[in-house]
Amino acid sequence: MDPEKTDWTSYYSKKYQITSITREITQKHLIQLLETYKPSEEVGEEYLEIGGASSCFFNTIFNKLSPKNYTIIDNNTYGVEKFLEDNKDLGGIKAINADIFNCELANKYSIVFSIGLIEHFCKENSAKAIEAHFRMCKSGGLVIIGFPTPTTQYLFTRRLMEICKLWKFFDERPVRSSEVEPVFLKYGTILEKRLLRQLPLTQLLYAIRTN
């Protein structure tokens, strides 16, 4: 039986407390990777956040790194509209309401990233989601992908939240490095891998330079 789907409209309308607490930690590492491995000037500075409706990282990235262009793509209409409304006075901002599995964007962006996306699919579709990142990224660009991984710490925290009826990400499937690294290596070179143990629900964060 397939797991119950996460209610993303509810999530985007009112963030869950656990994500509010942990977001700043993930954001700090994301900014570090973006600053350390940003592509050359020749590749450009076009950002794409996949699954970024109502992006919780956009404001910090915009203020700290001043990207020339920033696009999100998400299949949740409410979240996309909220992102546009929240940032309507800013230039260089775009939001695409689409399914990444059927999106024709290719080799358009110099930086493509997602945090908390690929774990919401089965293994086959997780691989397809990863491939979409590289399809949309220019050669010599930067792909960053973050996702939960099943450490003992993660499993204990999640089980506790489930018992307390606090768990809302019903279709989340923690992912191991052994599953994703072969896919990454088909399309680029792994620059850095970080295990974020500071998070109760531990995450892996990868930075990959595209071929």
pLDDT in tens, 57-99: 999 999 999 998 999 999 999 989 989 998 888 888 999 999 9
The pLDDT tens digits of the residues spanning 173-191 come to 999 999 999 999 999 999 9
**Residue for token pair 């956009």:** 58
R_g (Cα) of the chain, nearest Å: 16
Q: How far apart are CA 69 and CA 93, in angstroms?
A: 6
Q: How far apart are CA 110 and CA 198, in angstroms?
A: 29
Q: Tell me if residue 140 falls in helix, strand or coil.
A: strand
pLDDT band for position 153 (cuts 50, 70, 90) = very high
Tokens for 162, please give them: 């489930």
| Run of H or E including 63 | helix 58-65
For 100, residues 6+ apart whose C-beta sits below 8 A from its C-beta are: 50, 51, 73, 75, 129, 132
Chain centre to alpha carbon of residue 38? 17
pLDDT computed for residue 19 by the predictor: 62
19-23, 92-96, 102-106, 114-118: range with highest mean pLDDT: 114-118
Q: How far apart are CA 192 and CA 32, in angstroms?
A: 11
Q: How far apart are CA 75 and CA 97, in angstroms?
A: 5
Q: How far apart are CA 80 and CA 55, in angstroms?
A: 9
For 22, residues 6+ apart whose C-beta sits below 8 A from its C-beta are: 199, 200, 201
What's the CATH architecture for 8-210?
Answer: 3-Layer(aba) Sandwich (3.40)
Label the pairing between strands 188-196 and 203-210: antiparallel
Q: How far apart are CA 175 and CA 153, in angstroms?
A: 14
pTM: predicted TM-score of the whole model, two decimal places:
0.93
- CA dist 109 → 19, 51, 74, 76, 141 (Å): 27, 15, 16, 21, 8
Lowest mean per-residue pLDDT among 13-17, 31-35, 149-153: 13-17
